[in-house]
Structures are given as structure tokens and as C-alpha cells.
């Protein structure tokens, strides 16, 4: 399996690793090789030997607690669906309205394919360093503790804002369905409380079990929207509107508009930050994760393209973002109600990853590694305490930022670009150090991975510029501006 994986992603071929990376290894490292304790034979290594795989490096293996490595390939497929196929899909028809039908579909498949490749690099890195349990530890391997701290801060910042965004999205859904029956602050509080309760179970297996409800929720919500548009007109269209009017095959957006549309497509695929966390709780990640990854991206690219194209054709120039608002009022309300499980599970996935990241760090700092998966009062108290802190902070941020969507876009350009593309590029450079230009294939892959890094830098600069410009425009027009802890209606209908 390792040889197949290396060939596919371009990882340098190396001699088989003679070291048994398990807690019960009968071999020890010595200089540039390994010594078999039973035979006394020295095995030299062509590459730098891997760090020993010890119990302290594998907190999920069951030593001193429960075994968290319980997910099979289909469990992982559902977990990845929960993590990635959330409400990001509902902004895609609007991107086709900006870019045009053909360029928009090309962008969906191009960005999806590039993200798929970046995800495969994460898999290859995990196969080489199986002791890592999250993206932060991958950064530690290539950059040391200093960059680990930077990655940890960036990761938590990203996940807190994503959690807050989920709470705001749920408040929009509740306001849309109930016609603003409660103060928006109350709806945000209810959203944070419900997702916190879902985050109490401590295994990724629970997250994977929400994959089917998430997928069905999004799919049925999309179908209801399509049916509404098929039997009636778009919500804001005049009575004499005809199907296909205003449809643009090739759009002519400004640079800012085109870039913003591509960023929205990118965010719909930006789930790579969680891949290592899922691999760390799989029974056999080296064998099963490529299957799950392939299933995720084939499904997501196909569903994204079909949904975006059909909705755009049905709504034309009256396509809204999120797309549910394009349908007639009754159908739009029904669709919003149906997608609630998808929004909840999206918050569950991000919240769980953030809580577990901090939980492992805290338990290791307290020398309680053996209790990370144990059902002790202390371990549970730390887990629940971190969960409460995470969702309280998300609640405060979601109410304190008056123009939330623009702020999230700004922060996402600064973080998601790296956790999805940029870090993967550096991981490939580390895996292939010393052989970047050894073959024509390696030279091509070197250029591709440098492109991932350059694109991340581009999103940090041009993407931030586009997002900040959108924020300033909102201030000028007053569109979508809310006060801090404002009870006003944020419904999209």
C-alpha cells in the first residue's frame, strides 16, 4: 500500500522502514539505523529515522482508557461528509451568477481537484508519521515547537470563528422560519447550547454517525428548493418572468467580484484541516483513508456542480445566496427547516475538533496522557469545561461583530488558505526533501506544491483585499450591518 501511495502523490521512494512503530517494538534506534534486540543485527536507514511510536504519542489507542481508533472506511466517509458538505454548498449557485455557468463549473472542478490533491498529501504525511493526531502536530514535525504554537493559535482562531458563524447561520434559519419570533441574541444562544450538547460525546465515531442525516438534510433541502422553483417563479422575479431569462453562460465580473466568487467555492471544499484528526481515530487509516477521501471528493464535486447548475438555471438572475432564498416563500421556509440538521452537524464537527485539540494539549501538560480517553471524572470535567468555554466564546463573538459575514471572510482568507492548501505544500516539500528535481514528475509536482503555497499567499493578500472591500461597502450602504448584541431580525426572507 505504501508503494502505491508514494507513486500516486510523488513522495520519494525510500527503503522499507525497519523500525516497528508500535508501543511493543522489539527494535531500538542506534545512530543511523535500528538494532534488532533478538538478533543484534544493525539495519541502516537511507532516510532520517522516524521518531519512535510510543504510548504518549498515541493517546487514542486505548492505553489507560478507551480505544478511540474505531472508525472504518464508511465511518470516515460519513465523518468527512459531515465536516465538508455543510451550508457552503448553498452559496455556489450565486457564484455561477457572478462567473457565468461555464466558468463557474470549471472553477468548482478545478478548486475541488486541487483540494483533493492537497488532502492526499496530508494522507501521505500521516502514513510517514503515524504518531501525529491533528494538523498542528504535522506542522510541529516540519517546523518545531515555535511553528506548532503558531499553527495552534491559527487553528483555534479559525474554529472559534467557524463555530460562531454556525450559530449566526442557525439564528438566520430560526428567524426565517418563525418570522422573528424571538430576539436574535436568544436564537444564537439556543444554537450554541444545542451544538454544545452535541459536542459532549468524545469520539469521532459519534461525528461520523451524523453524516447520513447531514447529507440527507442538504439533499432534501436542495430538492425542495428546486421543486419550488420548478412549480413557481423565483421569490423576487416579476409575474412575467420566464425560465432561462437572465442566464449568463460566461460572466464578466470585476476582479474583486470574480475573486470573491472563487473564495466562496474554495470555502465549500475547505475541510482538509480535519483530515488528520479523523485519520487518528481510524482502525486502519493507511488502507482506508484514500477510499474515504476519494468518495468525499467525487461526491462533493458532483453534488456541488449539479446543485449549483440546476439552481442557477431555475432562478437565473434572481439567484440568491444562500440559494434557499431563491424559492417562493413557502418552499424557502420548508427548505430552511429541513437543512437545520446539516447546520447543527457542521457546528458539531468543528466544535468537536477544537475541543479535542485543546483537551489533548491540556491533558499532556498535566501529565495525564493515560486519562485522555479514560472515563474519569477529571477527564470528563476538563472536556466539558473546554466545550463550555469554546461555545461561550463563539456566542460572544457571534453577537459582538456587527457585520459578521465580512469578518469571517477576512479571517478565513488568513487561515483556511493555509490549513487547506499552504501547509500541504510545505508537507510535500518536507517529504521529498533532497529529491525535488530528481525526475520530470518530481519537478512537476514541485511546481504544483509551490503553487499551493503561492495561492495561499495570494488569498492572504488579494483575498483579504476583496473581503475588506466588501466590508467597507457594507458600512457605506448599511447593508447587513447589525449592532453588538442586537435583537433585530437577520432573516434572509
Where are the chain's structural domains? 17-46, 69-402
C-alpha dist (Å) from residue 160 to 157, 308, 350: 5, 28, 8
Q: Do the Cβ atoms of 160 and 397 come closer than 8 Å?
A: yes
Residue corresponding to grid cell 461561550 = 392
**What pLDDT was estimated at residue 425?**
95
Provide the grid cell at 436: 525535488
Q: Closest Cα to residue 109, out of 130, 124, 129, 95?
A: 95
Superfamily (CATH) of domain 69-402: Hydantoin permease (1.10.4160.10)
pTM score = 0.82
User: 105 CB contacts (<8 Å, ≥6 apart)?
Assistant: 96, 305, 308, 309
Q: Closest Cα to residue 234, out of 112, 151, 107, 332?
A: 332
Strands, E assignment, 158-247: none
Q: Do the Cβ atoms of 304 and 92 come closer than 8 Å?
A: yes
- Over the stretch 157-197, which tens digit does the pLDDT of each residue have? 889 988 888 898 898 889 888 888 889 899 999 999 999 99
**What pLDDT was estimated at residue 450?**
96
∠ CA 421-433-154 to the nearest 5 degrees? 35
**Numbers of helices and strands, H then E, in the chain:** 18, 3
Is the peptide bond preceding residue 279 cis, with omega within 30 degrees of 0?
Answer: no
User: 477 CB contacts (<8 Å, ≥6 apart)?
Assistant: none
User: 302 CB contacts (<8 Å, ≥6 apart)?
Assistant: none
**What gap in Å lies between CA 95 and CA 448, rounded to an integer?**
25
**What pLDDT was estimated at residue 263?**
86
C-alpha dist (Å) from residue 214 to 198, 232, 341, 352, 481: 14, 27, 6, 16, 30
| Ranges of the chain whose pLDDT falls below 50 | 1-9, 11-55
User: 173 CB contacts (<8 Å, ≥6 apart)?
Assistant: 336, 337, 339, 340, 343
- Over the stretch 408-455, which tens digit does the pLDDT of each residue have? 677 767 888 899 999 999 999 999 998 898 899 999 999 999 999 999
Per the rule left: phi > 0, alpha: psi between -120 and 50, beta: everything else, 14 is beta
Q: Do the Cβ atoms of 71 and 204 come closer than 8 Å?
A: yes
**What gap in Å lies between CA 382 and CA 356, rounded to an integer?**
10
Q: What φ, ψ does residue 393 adopt, rounded to 5°? A: -65, -40
**What gap in Å lies between CA 30 and CA 51, rounded to an integer?**
12
Amino acid at each position: 500500500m505504501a508503494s502505491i501511495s508514494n507513486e500516486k502523490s510523488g513522495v520519494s521512494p525510500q527503503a522499507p522502514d525497519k523500525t516497528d512503530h508500535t508501543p511493543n517494538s522489539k527494535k531500538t534506534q542506534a545512530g543511523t539505523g535500528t538494532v534488532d534486540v533478538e538478533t543484534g543485527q544493525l539495519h541502516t536507514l537511507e532516510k532520517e529515522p522516524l521518531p519512535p511510536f510510543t504510548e504518549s504519542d498515541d493517546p487514542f489507542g486505548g492505553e489507560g482508557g478507551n480505544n478511540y481508533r474505531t472508525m472504518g472506511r464508511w465511518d470516515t466517509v460519513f465523518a468527512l461528509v459531515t465536516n465538508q458538505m455543510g451550508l457552503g454548498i448553498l452559496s455556489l449557485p450565486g457564484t455561477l451568477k457572478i462567473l457565468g455557468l461555464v466558468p463557474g463549473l470549471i472553477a468548482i472542478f478545478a478548486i475541488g481537484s486541487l483540494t483533493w490533491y492537497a488532502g492526499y498529501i496530508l494522507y501521505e504525511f500521516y502514513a510517514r508519521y503515524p504518531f501525529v493526531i491533528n494538523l498542528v502536530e504535522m506542522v510541529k514535525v516540519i517546523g518545531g515547537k515555535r511553528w506548532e504554537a503558531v499553527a495552534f493559535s491559527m487553528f483555534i482562531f479559525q474554529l472559534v470563528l467557524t463555530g460562531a458563524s454556525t450559530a449566526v447561520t442557525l439564528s438566520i434559519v430560526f428567524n426565517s422560519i418563525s418570522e422573528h419570533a424571538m430576539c436574535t441574541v436568544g436564537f444564537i444562544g439556543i444554537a450554541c447550547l444545542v451544538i454544545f450538547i452535541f459536542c459532549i460525546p468524545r469520539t469521532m465515531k459519534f461525528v461520523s454517525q451524523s453524516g447520513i442525516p447531514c447529507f440527507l438534510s442538504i439533499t432534501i433541502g436542495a430538492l425542495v428548493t428546486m421543486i419550488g422553483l420548478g412549480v413557481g417563479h423565483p421569490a423576487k422575479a416579476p409575474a412575467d418572468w420566464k425560465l432561462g431569462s437572465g442566464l449568463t453562460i460566461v460572466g464578466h465580473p470585476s476582479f474583486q467580484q470574480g475573486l470573491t466568487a472563487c473564495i466562496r467555492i474554495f470555502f465549500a471544499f475547505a475541510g482538509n484541516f480535519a483530515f488528520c484528526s479523523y485519520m487518528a481515530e481510524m482502525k486502519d487509516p493507511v488502507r482506508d483513508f484514500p477510499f474515504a477521501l476519494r468518495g468525499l471528493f467525487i461526491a462533493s464535486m458532483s453534488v456541488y456542480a449539479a446543485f449549483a447548475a440546476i439552481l442557477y438555471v431555475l432562478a437565473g438572475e434572481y439567484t440568491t445566496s444562500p440559494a434557499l432564498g431563491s424559492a417562493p416563500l413557502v418552499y424557502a421556509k420548508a427548505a430552511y427547516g429541513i437543512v437545520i440538521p446539516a447546520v447543527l452537524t457542521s457546528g458539531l464537527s468543528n466544535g468537536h475538533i477544537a475541543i479535542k485539540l485543546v483537551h489533548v494539549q491540556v491533558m499532556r501538560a498535566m501529565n495525564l496522557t493515560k486519562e485522555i480517553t479514560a472515563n474519569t471524572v477529571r477527564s470528563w470535567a476538563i472536556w466539558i469545561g473546554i466545550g463550555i468555554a469554546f461555545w461561550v466564546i463563539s456566542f460572544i463573538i457571534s453577537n459582538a461583530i456587527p457585520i459578521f459575514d465580512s469578518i469571517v471572510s477576512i479571517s478565513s482568507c488568513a487561515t483556511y488558505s493555509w490549513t487547506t492548501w499552504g501547509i500541504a505544500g510545505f508537507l510535500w516539500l518536507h517529504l521529498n526533501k533532497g529529491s525535488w528535481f530528481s525526475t520530470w514528475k518530481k519537478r512537476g509536482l514541485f511546481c504544483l506544491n509551490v503553487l499551493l503555497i503561492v495561492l495561499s499567499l495570494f488569498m492572504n493578500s488579494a483575498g483579504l483585499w476583496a473581503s475588506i472591500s466588501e466590508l467597507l461597502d457594507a458600512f457605506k450602504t448599511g447593508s447587513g450591518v447589525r449592532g453588538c448584541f442586537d435583537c433585530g431580525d437577520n432573516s434572509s426572507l
